[in-house]
Amino acid sequence: MILSAPRSAFLPVPFSLSPSLSPCPRPFLPVPIPFSLSMNGPNPMSESSPRRFSGDTLVIASHNRGKVGEIADLLRGHVQTFRSAAELALPEPEETGDSFIANAELKARAAARGGFIALADDSGLAVSALGGQPGIYSARWGGPDRDFWVAMTRVNQELGSNPDRSASFVCALSLAWPDGHCETVEGRITGTLVWPPRGNHGFGYDPIFVPDGYTQTFGELNPALKHAISHRADAFRQLVARCFR
């Protein structure tokens, strides 16, 4: 004998908009999140297409010979000719920004008024136990002569016996065109401060900064290795990917 189900069994079930009564919950559709090339700098995916460097001459907006040489080393192969702000007798603008990025853009735009694309950096040491100081005032802690022995000594004195010696080097890079347009990124490296200073390489606070994962200070490390892992190298990797490729 063949049994048949009552006809009512095949009637459609009324659909309800109530989530608790819906026979088929709405599927979750993940929203794609733009991928950032670096957690340290601006997210290029969230901005308009970056402007690319063109031409053969780049002005490095700095009067610091050590910094000019380091920046030139990091961009060799991408730029044919480097000129420094000192070489072109460009004045150093007053750094009135309230962040590394603001100061880098201010300096880059000032140097680009000479008619060339200009690159400026603003970098410094941010000490955790000092609330991020000296930060954008890193050079000024060296007094009117920008003496970094004075600056390093002040950092050590300010820390006193505080066991927290963690710190970061931060570097903002800004590439500016004569029309005022800027492309800006920011790099960072974390580490620990030591005393007394060690090593004769580098400049600034390098002799008291030991990067995480190493036992030597930036002042002791081989310059090629330091250039490869530094905050400035991090920023340059971002800038090259953004503007020089």
The catalytic residues are 122
Three-state DSSP state, 76 = strand
Contacts (Cβ under 8 Å, ≥6 apart) of 30: none
Per DSSP, the three-state class of 177 is coil
Helix (H, G, I), strand (E, B) or coil at 81: strand
CB contact at 8 A, 114 and 90: yes
8 A C-beta contact, residue 187 and residue 232? yes
With beta carbons less than 8 A apart as the criterion, state whether 118 and 71 touch.
no
